[in-house]
Amino acid sequence: VSKDIILEMANKNGQNFIAFCDELRAYVEEHHLFPQKHSRLSHKIKYTRKKINEGALEDWKQVMFEEIADMRDLSIHTGGRKKRE
pLDDT digits (tens, 9 = 90+) for 43-84: 999 999 999 999 999 998 999 999 999 999 888 876 767 666
Query: pLDDT band at residue 37, thresholds of 50, 70 and 90?
Result: confident
* Distance, CA of 72 to CA of 9 (rounded, Å): 25
Within the chain, what is the greatest distance between any pair of CA atoms?
58
What's the predicted TM-score (pTM) here?
0.79
- In this structure, the number of other CB atoms found within 10 A of the CB of residue 54 comes to 8
| Phi and psi based region of residue 78 (left: phi greater than 0; alpha: psi -120 to 50; beta: remaining) | alpha
Say if residues 42 and 36 touch (Cβ distance below 8 Å).
Answer: yes
Model pLDDT, residue 12:
86
